[in-house]
Structure 1
Amino acid sequence: MYSRNQASKLTQEFWTVFGAYMKPVPSADGGRVNWQNYRTGVRHLYFRMQADRSRASISIEIQHPDPLLGELYFEQLQALRPLFQNELGESWVWLSAPSNETSISEYSVRKELEGVNVLNREHWPRIISFLKPRMIALDGFWSQAKYGFEGLC
């Protein structure tokens, strides 16, 4: 068992290592990008990577305080689904939750890797091998898709 401090330190160390693997990779547009904290340029639309004691995941998340705009963002993302699937080359789970207890609309498109533990250094290569190509592909998708969201912001 790990103390809270040890778990936090190992998790932080994992993301530092992941950042080092990703640092030399340019964005689809050729520029530098902070892969761990990817900026979509669209408020309330995020690319998220997570790793915990049982899984790793990567997702596009829409968390909009206006339920109608959240739904509109998700509909726009769904309209771009063929481009998404072409760029990613695999199926992801598309989830919609029009409102939650905080009255924020939450929608997501996600892919998970089960059976890995970020606190186990031996799992880090599997987690990195899962996240890295998908994050690069999401960037490739976003370099084309972001223009579909310009009028919605």
Structure 2
Amino acid sequence: MPEQQDPLALESQVCFALSLASRSVIAAYKPVLEPLGLTHPQYLMMLALWEYAPLSLRELSALLYQDPATASPIAKRLESLGYLRRERDPQDERSLSIVLTERGAVLREEAEKIPGIMMDRLGMDEAELRALHGSMMKLIDVAVADGRL
């Protein structure tokens, strides 16, 4: 008769594996991002801006699944580093528009090396990372649909 596994065993919990993986991957990014002067949350914000700028703080927060109160200090820090500017939107004076500076746009060229470096650091090829990403996005979609995110 097969041995029954404890349904509450720590090692078998998806939440534990995701939490540990998240911390581990973010830690692996740290030495790669340090030469650029970026933290991981700042890097995520720059990724969004490189793809979609200009954005309002509300739009940027939504892309990052963050509250504007969480995203605002990150944007302020990136502005102090010279990578972006927060400007009043000419269409709506109540709204801030976040735009890349020339320095922020140039930083993208340096950052283009990061995905390849991270593939090596994580010991996974592109196909493995795409499959993992797909599984995680499926989890995120379920959480968003259920209103948990």
With normalisation by structure 2, the TM-score equals: 0.29
- Greater relative contact order: 1 or 2 (C-alpha under 8 angstroms, separation 6 or more)? 1
Whose Rg is larger? 2
Larger strand percent = 1
Larger helix percent = 2
With normalisation by structure 1, the TM-score equals: 0.28
